[in-house]
Amino acid sequence: MKHSRYKYFSNLEHAAQFLDGNIYHQTLAFFRDIGDEFESTRIYRPVEGLSTNNLTQGKSFPLQMGFESSARAGEIYVFCLSRALTHELARDFRAKVCIEILQPAVFIKRWLAALPNGACHFAKKVDYYQPDDVPGNVWPQPDLIATTKLARFAKQKEYRLGFSTTGALEFGQTTQQLVHRKARPEPKPDEHHHWIVEAGDLRDVCKLHEYHS
């Protein structure tokens, strides 16, 4: 069974830098603001509304709002991969090349060794969910929030490496609120940060796939 991971690049220079071992991470906040507005947030929106009990009146009624649990998006760095090599993804990512990581375990071991001292980290596949799926044990765990996305992104078959140096990945470091979103929240550029993890030359565990227009 093949267990390769894949990284699509629209920029050939960035692909070469990756092969040199420069693993470029962005904060969850960056991905939230340029793409999925629910990045770094686990939402729960039952179709018929949240069930609410009025103890004074002894009645229950649906509340037309959603429950959201958010991680500290500006403090968690992620590097995104895919578990799939497809022309559809190459087109979606406007890829000129895709780098296949032939030995993910070796790659992750090198990544771990190059992380800042004391960094909390995770490496796992992304799970996909529907808005009305009960969040279960996800809501208080930042690493699980960082590795769950709405089902509309499932074709990406994403796999993520992530870390934080500030304690943002510790259990309970999340914020909960009831929200009735009517518009996309304003971006927060001050939470957009990057971090290059230098893992050493990766060519011995990688294979290059080129796309020709």
Task: Tell me the pLDDT of the chain (213 aa) as tens digits.
Answer: 468 999 999 999 999 999 999 999 999 999 999 999 999 999 998 877 666 666 566 666 566 678 999 999 999 999 999 999 999 999 999 999 999 999 999 999 999 999 999 999 999 999 999 999 999 999 999 999 999 999 999 999 999 999 999 999 999 999 999 988 878 889 999 999 999 999 999 999 999 999 876
Strands of the 41-44 sheet, one edge to the other:
41-44, 66-71, 174-179
CB 193 within 8 A of CB 166: no
Give me the number of domains the chain comprises.
1
Q: Is residue 119 part of a domain?
A: yes
Q: Is residue 53 part of a domain?
A: no
CB 160 within 8 A of CB 78: yes
The pTM of the full predicted model, rounded to 2 decimals, is: 0.92
pLDDT at 182: 79
Q: Is residue 55 part of a domain?
A: no
How far is it, in rounded angstroms, from Cα 106 to Cα 109?
Answer: 5
CB 125 within 8 A of CB 44: no
Contacts of residue 213, defined as CB under 8 A and 6 or more positions apart, other chains included, come to none
Residue 116 has what DSSP assignment? Answer: P
Q: What angle do CA 186, 164, 172 make, to 5 degrees?
A: 80
CB 210 within 8 A of CB 96: yes
pLDDT at 110: 98
Q: Is residue 118 part of a domain?
A: yes
pLDDT at 51: 65
Q: Is residue 141 part of a domain?
A: yes
For residue 20, the enclosing domain spans: 5-47+64-210
Q: Is residue 54 part of a domain?
A: no
Q: Is residue 204 part of a domain?
A: yes
pLDDT at 2: 62
